């Protein structure tokens, strides 16, 4: 049963009939994402990234998609590479998301709906979220970020 004319949530974006292709993610979250996109007057197409759906079906979904989103933590590398290749071929904007959460999905939609210059269309947009420190509270001396910081190994035989 399709829901139509639902009130848009306060944090919604106006998709005005555009189609969002979501590749990968958690299967149980797709109905929630679909409901959100429909409340924003858009449609959601989903491909699971090759788990059950055939990868050849991914190319068929690109014809009607206006935006492509995929979570990097919940999709295969092969699917990521295929999405990027197809986005360059079809000149479609895409955005890799740092996680498969619905809040990140909403943020990513907001970023993709910002006007972009034509040269940026098939390139990933800068993320609204900043990378977190993988070693919170540690000192730089305890990290092995640089080659010079790593302990030297004795290579004598």
Over the stretch 105-144, which tens digit does the pLDDT of each residue have?
999 988 888 765 554 455 555 555 554 544 455 444 434 4
How far apart CA 129 and CA 104 sit, in angstroms, is: 9
Q: Which residue has the tokens 């390139």?
A: 123
Instruction: Indicate the helix (H) or strand (E) that contains 20.
Output: strand 19-23
Please tell me the predicted confidence (pLDDT) of residue 125: 53
Mean pLDDT of 71-96: 90
pLDDT at 50 over 80: no
The answer to whether 41 and 16 are in contact (CB under 8 A) is yes
Please tell me the predicted confidence (pLDDT) of residue 110: 85
Kindly report the backbone phi and psi dihedral angles of residue 141, in degrees, each rounded to the nearest multiple of 5, phi listed first.
Answer: -65, -25
More confident position, 57 or 66: 66
pTM, two decimals, is 0.66
How far apart CA 39 and CA 6 sit, in angstroms, is: 6
How far apart CA 76 and CA 26 sit, in angstroms, is: 12
Please tell me the predicted confidence (pLDDT) of residue 104: 93
């Amino acid at each position: 049963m399709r829901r139509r004319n639902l009130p848009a949530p306060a944090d919604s974006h106006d998709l005005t009939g555009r189609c969002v292709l979501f590749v990968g993610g958690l299967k149980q979250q797709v109905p929630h994402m679909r409901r959100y996109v429909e409340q924003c007057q858009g449609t959601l197409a989903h491909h699971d990234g090759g788990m059950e759906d055939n990868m050849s079906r991914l190319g068929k979904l690109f014809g009607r998609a206006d935006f492509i989103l995929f979570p990097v933590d919940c999709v295969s590398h092969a699917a990521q590479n295929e999405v990027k290749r197809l986005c360059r071929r079809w000149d479609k904007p895409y955005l890799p998301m740092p996680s498969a959460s619905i809040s990140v999905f909403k943020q990513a939609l907001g970023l993709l709906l910002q006007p972009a210059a034509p040269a940026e269309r098939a390139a990933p947009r800068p993320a609204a979220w900043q990378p977190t420190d993988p070693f919170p509270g540690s000192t730089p001396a305890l990290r092995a970020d640089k080659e010079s910081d790593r302990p030297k190994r004795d290579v004598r035989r």
